Amino acid sequence: MDNEANIDSGFAQPGATHYMDAPALRQGLHMPTQVKLIIALLGLAGLIVAAIFGMRAYDTIANAPSRYAESIAEAIKTGPGLELPLLNNYVGSDTESIRASFSESQYSIIDVNELYDDAEEVDEYTLDLVKVPADMDREVAENLFKKSLRRAGVLEAAHYLSSSWHFSASLAEGTDIKVKYADLESASIEDAITKAIANQGWTDSTFGEAGVDQSGNTYQSGTITINEQTYSWTVSACPLDEVYSVTGLPENSFYVGARLVG
């Protein structure tokens, strides 16, 4: 049977067998230019997306330490600040006068002797007070102090330490007052001591011995005359990690104490 005879107007008749033209079989498969362009654009977009995610991942890993350090520095910088008490101002004062002065300065104060339920009764000649950072909840600050910053996050610890100090006084037999605090910004322990001396107004006084005491603290001593009476002062400092165990604080962090006796 002639196959061509069974083809009518392009429709095959039942029982007919058709074969593709041989030249058509030999033609190569050609992708339209528009499809090629779309595939190329999609591939380029994929490469761009992969590159962006790769760069972000690298930035997250490589720059995480510096970004973390910046966050800590920001927590220190944006705090309300130490507002250190000047010990010279409390020479000749009794405990009630010192409390009143702190109140006038609008310090939020923790009385350490009242903080512990089992604290012994303290006489009228002693003080043990801690300044609460102005922007920190008092209960939070009390817990941080009682636990010596244990379990505190580094940002919370940095904020607390940069805006808090510990003041104590023993006035039964003259004057013995001191303030202790963290210095998180000085370049060295010597710089921390120099800054503390300047903060207390002792720069122009008579300088005495300096060195390292039996406890390993670096110190500078001197004398100053107030109201025609001579008082001895000492500024000492040690690495902060000898007092508080907080991981992540600036490497050059120090615990500083200033004391005035007379």
Please state, in angstroms and rounded to a whole number, the distance separating the CA atoms of residues 148 and 157: 10
- pLDDT at 157 > cutoff 70: yes
**Averaged pLDDT, 78-91:** 91
In this predicted model, what pLDDT tens digit does every residue of 197-252 receive, in sequence order? 999 999 999 999 999 999 999 999 999 999 999 999 999 999 999 999 898 898 89
Give the side-chain half-sphere CA count within 13 A for 25.
Answer: 4
Question: What is the predicted pLDDT for the residue at 123?
Answer: 81
Q: Which residue has the higher pLDDT, 46 or 198?
A: 198
CB contact set of 186 (below 8 Å; sequence gap of 6+): 192, 195, 252, 254
- The answer to whether the beta carbons of residues 203 and 197 sit under 8 Å apart is yes
Q: Up-side HSE of residue 261: CA atoms within 13 Å toward CB? A: 8
SS3 per residue for 186-229: CCCHHHHHHHHHHHCCCCCCEEEEEEECCCCCEEEEEEEEECCE
d(CA 140, CA 124): 28
Rounded CA-CA distance 175/260 in Å is 7
Task: Write down the pLDDT at residue 88.
Answer: 97
- At 6 the pLDDT is 46
Give residue-wise pLDDT tens across range 123-132.
Answer: 889 999 999 9
Which residue has 């991981």 as its token pair?
247
What is the model's pLDDT at position 2?
47
Q: How far apart are CA 38 and CA 35, in angstroms?
A: 5
If DSSP codes are grouped into helix, strand and coil, which group holds residue 145?
helix
Angle between helices 33-62 and 64-77 (to 10 degrees): 50
What pLDDT score does 28 carry? 56
d(CA 64, CA 47): 25
pLDDT in tens, 10-42: 444 555 555 555 555 555 556 677 766 777 777
Measured CA to CA, the distance from residue 164 to residue 28 in angstroms comes to: 82
Mean pLDDT, rounded, for 149-167? 93
The pLDDT of residue 242: 95
Six-digit token string for 70: 């910046």
Sign of CA dihedral 107, 108, 110, 111: positive
**What does pLDDT average to over the chain?**
83
Q: Which comes out higher in pLDDT, residue 164 or 248?
A: 164
Q: What is the pLDDT of residue 15?
A: 55
pLDDT of residue 120: 64
Buried b / exposed e along 26-44 (16+ C-beta atoms within 10 A)? eeeeeeeeeeeeeeeeeee
Share of the chain above pLDDT 90, in %: 60
What is the spatial distance between Cα 129 and Cα 107, in angstroms, rounded to a whole number? 11
Query: Residue 256 CA to chain centroid, in angstroms?
Result: 19
Q: What is d(CA 83, CA 85) in angstroms, rounded to the nearest whole number? A: 7
For the chain, state the CA radius of gyration. 38
